[in-house]
Structure 1
Amino acid sequence: MKEGEGVTAYFGRVMTVANEMRGFGEDMTEVKVVEKVLRSLTTWAFFVECTQADKPVNFAEFDEGKKEWFTSLDEGFKHTVKLGNDLKLNVKGIGDVKLVVDGITQVITRVYYVPDLTSSLLSIGQLLEKNLTVVFKRGRCSIYHPQRGTIMRSRMTENRMFVIQANVKELEQICLKTDEEENQIWHKRLGHVNYKSLRTMQYKHMVNGLPKVAEPTKLCEVCNLGKQQRERGKRYVMVLIDDYSRKGWVYLLSKKSEALDKFKKIKLKVENETGLSIKSLRSDRGGEFISKEFNEFCESSGIRRQLTTAYTPQQNGVAERRNKTLMNMVRCLLIEKQMPKWFWPEAVNWACHITNRCATASLVDKVPEEIWSGQRPSVVHCKIFGCIGYAHVPVQLRSKLDNRSVKCIFVGISSESKAFRMYDPDAKKIIISKDVVFEEGDRWDWSVNEFGTDTFVVLDMDEIQGNVQQNNEGIFMETQSEVTQHGEMSGARDGDGAQ
């Protein structure tokens, strides 16, 4: 690098040479080009104050001389680092640092504690090794994460340094996203599933997108309230379970006589997906399951019936246990964000979706969805039920001066498209949208405008195809059915149902 030459001009010369070498068949990857640029920079370019922003990540090592910045520090770790001027410094520890940039807190991992270092240094090479993208352009440095986009930006100063202004003192005044809070968020996102299942799912990589979860230090108040109460009433939902994979489905009914129609739908669905036939159906002796029409359909379809004896629910234990799991989760989902009870249909559907992606004692190292589909599911799309989200309004539905988003409540995901189901309390309708910005810590203030509704109007923001009505006052089916690929199907009956 020439004396007095700027980084931009020098980088342009390097790229010209790199392109010529590629023309001669040399393997000049972007990583190699950046490494060559960094090696040839003068000494001043290696002293850069740095930090990180947004969420806790595990992607790079930093050199840090301020011991008080560490939230955790292993002083037993010993190492040495070499600066650009060949100066070697002793590393006397490694740990985590929490910094604030523009009001956003970041937990940075694998930070080297170097007492003799006066400035914080960022290893660009390690950023590249972790598949991050570093771009130097027009006096700016930007670091991009492959999933979250831009996570850090900095302008070049007069002395040709890229400095990130971080404020550690703000950490005492803001609410940090600690490991405990991260645990609670995923506990809430997955319907207050127990922490043992969360740790098992993460440790054995049963789903994608789930971070490491630690043992909680305090009890979850929502779990204590939701899992110790018993809802009463006469509302019903039909739950069917595949005995082999433990994957479940739920169908909302307006009356028990609809059970046969729903069973016909699930029969067609599972047989199309698996190429197998239902061999056996296990259920209790509820009138909807022993009717003449139901028996004739099973007989014509070659389905063997298995009915439990009176007052012996343990003969249908799988379905009984699933009924309890779903109801516990539904109560927790409604309590968490203080949602009105008339949201129970949405909560039931979301609880079923979550349960299919959570560990169960009957399966080894896999979740029901993976057993059923053969593909490991992801939980990245999971949000806290009832949290606030801002759904984008397409240009077709707004004028130039209208708001570009609408404040809604997350109530699940769409079964027809890859999008979220968002409830608009002001318009009293369900919005299907894939462009949503979530605030999982916020909830709707129902004390201001709590109301019930007999129907939800469903508006698909992507297709703009009009309104579709969805019944919200179904009944909570006291029976469940369990479908199996290998020929077993069972059902259970919950005496009181849910409210």
Structure 2
Amino acid sequence: GISRSAPFKPPTALNRDVSLCLTFFSDVCLIQDMQLRRMTGSAKLSHGLYHLEQPVDTSQPKHFSAATSQDFDVWHFRLGHVSHSKVPLLKNLCLDIDTNSSIPCDTCHFARQKRLPFPSSTSVAQQSFELIHVDIWGPNPIPSYDGFKYFLTIVDDFTRMTWLILLPAKSDARPKLQAFCSYVERQFQTTVKRIRSDQGREFEMTEFFNRTGILHELSCVETPQQNSRVERKHQHILAVARALKFQSNLSPSFWSDCVKHSVFLINRVPTIVLGNQTPFQKLYNKPPDLSDLKVFGCLCFASTLANHRSKFDSRARKGVFLGFQPGMKGYKIYDLLTHDIFVSRDVQFYEHVFPFKDQSQNQNQTSPYANPIDPT
């Protein structure tokens, strides 16, 4: 066998018993099993030697239904560094996860310096959208690459389902909140009954509240405890977003993708507050489908469109996974060559390889990823 810390063997020795394909880049080697047609390992270049980051596994793949049986470490990354205490709850989502994890996670320590207090399990509301909590976070010192500085957070009190809406300015919160109320009415055949917020002027919508009959509840000045549901949610979102940021080493201008994907994950992770259900399941009465979930910030290759290429053009675009695009069935990808962002459904992922990850151990090597470039 090949130990995790052993120097990488030459291709002739590694291929003696199994049929493997090795693809070398400037600072990483990807190992693929040609018979199983899947990635079985990766190795990073350090001081002239390739060191395995993931043990080579040539066992037959297990049946894939809602999700595949994999090590907890992979799902730990996919779900935004979910804690080990959540593992028994994840089994309720039909995830066959090996709970034995021997790899310490530095990212968790960097992102979660202190544990958040467990939220109260009591709910004021008795049904979905009877009460929603809203608040604005920002401004972020560094605007996102797509021009956002704030985000509006909406939390349903009954289901704990969370929506995050990016904003270029605080004043944009008013029309976005009104549009959300219309969305609830059209998609869930119900209406928002009460909205609880602080006394920010961006939530002053007297004419709208009078016309729709929605009650606007205000928290007292400098008493965020009265709207603690959304205050705690902000802490939770930012903790997961930090984990995604440290895990991927993306440029700070990608913070908008980090917080959006954080909410996507939070809505799909079980919580004891909801009796070990997920917010998604509480709202839609069905468990979330995690079969397409991949590790945020990992390396991927998206197939190019046949009508946009010649016989000698590349068949794939090399990129980084940034989450999912709402309203589109596909993966959101950052192109490492053109610095464009696009959506594709035909993508191959390498979930243990992070193109923007810190290359400090390769100080003597020149890496094209040493200085991430913001998309324009």
* TM-score relative to the length of structure 2: 0.69
Tell me which of 348, 353, 358 is aligned to 2:259. 348
CA gap 1:370/1:431 in 2 versus in 1, 3 angstroms? same
Cα displacement (A) at 1:271? 1.7
- What amino acid is the match of 1:214? T
In structure 2, the residue matched to 1:102 is 19
In structure 2, the residue matched to 1:119 is none
Deviation digits for residues 417-437 of structure 1, max 9, x if unmatched? 211111113212112110000
- What amino acid is the match of 1:225? F
- Cα pair 2:299 2:321 within 8 Å, conserved: yes
- Cα pair 1:199 1:212 within 8 Å, conserved: no
Cα displacement (A) at 1:448? 3.5
2:369 and 2:330 mapped to 1: Cα distance? 29
In structure 2, the residue matched to 1:188 is 77
Tell me which of 259, 278, 286 is aligned to 2:192. 278
- 2:109 corresponds to 1:220: no
Secondary structure of the residue aligned to 1:389 is strand
1:260 and 1:213 mapped to 2: Cα distance? 46
Cα displacement (A) at 1:295? 2.5
1:302 and 1:360 mapped to 2: Cα distance? 32
Cα displacement (A) at 1:449? 4.2
- Cα pair 2:250 2:372 within 8 Å, conserved: no
In structure 2, the residue matched to 1:440 is 351
- 2:242 corresponds to 1:331: yes
Cα displacement (A) at 1:218? 5.5
Cα displacement (A) at 1:213? 4.3
In structure 2, the residue matched to 1:374 is 285
- Cα pair 1:198 1:213 within 8 Å, conserved: no
- What amino acid is the match of 2:292? H
CA gap 1:399/1:211 in 2 versus in 1, 3 angstroms? same
CA gap 1:194/1:406 in 2 versus in 1, 3 angstroms? same
Cα displacement (A) at 1:385? 0.6
Cα displacement (A) at 1:151? 4.8
Correspondence 1:127-166 to 2 at 5 A? 151=36
- 2:171 corresponds to 1:257: yes
The runs of 5 or more residues in structure 2 that have no matched partner are 1-16, 22-34, 38-51, 60-69, 115-137, 142-148, 357-367
- What amino acid is the match of 1:227? R
CA gap 1:439/1:173 in 2 versus in 1, 3 angstroms? closer
2:151 and 2:277 mapped to 1: Cα distance? 27
2:215 and 2:100 mapped to 1: Cα distance? 45
CA gap 1:325/1:213 in 2 versus in 1, 3 angstroms? farther
Deviation digits for residues 87-141 of structure 1, max 9, x if unmatched? xxxxxxxxxxxxx74349xxxxxxxxxxxxxxxxxxxxxxxxxxxxxxxxxxxxx
2:202 and 2:240 mapped to 1: Cα distance? 26
Correspondence 1:41-440 to 2 at 5 A? 101-103=18-20, 151=36, 175-176=55-56, 182-202=71-91, 205=92, 207-208=93-94, 210-214=95-99, 216-217=101-102, 219-228=104-113, 233-234=140-141, 235-289=149-203, 291=204, 294-440=205-351
Computed over aligned residues only, the root mean square deviation of the Cα atoms, in angstroms, reads 2.7
1:296 and 1:198 mapped to 2: Cα distance? 47
Percent identity over paired residues: 28
Deviation digits for residues 170-218 of structure 1, max 9, x if unmatched? xx9972469xx8211101100112121232121xx2x24x222426446
1:431 and 1:363 mapped to 2: Cα distance? 36
The runs of 5 or more residues in structure 1 that have no matched partner are 1-99, 105-149, 153-171, 456-499
- Cα pair 2:199 2:221 within 8 Å, conserved: yes
Q: How many equivalent residue pairs?
A: 282
2:77 and 2:53 mapped to 1: Cα distance? 25
In structure 1, the residue matched to 2:372 is 450
Deviation digits for residues 48-70 of structure 1, max 9, x if unmatched? xxxxxxxxxxxxxxxxxxxxxxx
- Cα pair 2:73 2:103 within 8 Å, conserved: no
CA gap 1:228/1:174 in 2 versus in 1, 3 angstroms? closer
- What amino acid is the match of 2:332? R
2:191 and 2:318 mapped to 1: Cα distance? 45
In structure 2, the residue matched to 1:466 is none
Cα displacement (A) at 1:399? 1.2
* TM-score relative to the length of structure 1: 0.53
CA gap 1:280/1:433 in 2 versus in 1, 3 angstroms? same
2:101 and 2:232 mapped to 1: Cα distance? 25
Deviation digits for residues 373-395 of structure 1, max 9, x if unmatched? 12211112111110011000011
- Cα pair 2:324 2:330 within 8 Å, conserved: yes
Secondary structure of the residue aligned to 2:213 is coil
2:139 and 2:170 mapped to 1: Cα distance? 18
Structure 1: which 4+ aligned runs deviate by more than 3 Å? 215-219, 231-235, 445-449
Secondary structure of the residue aligned to 2:97 is coil
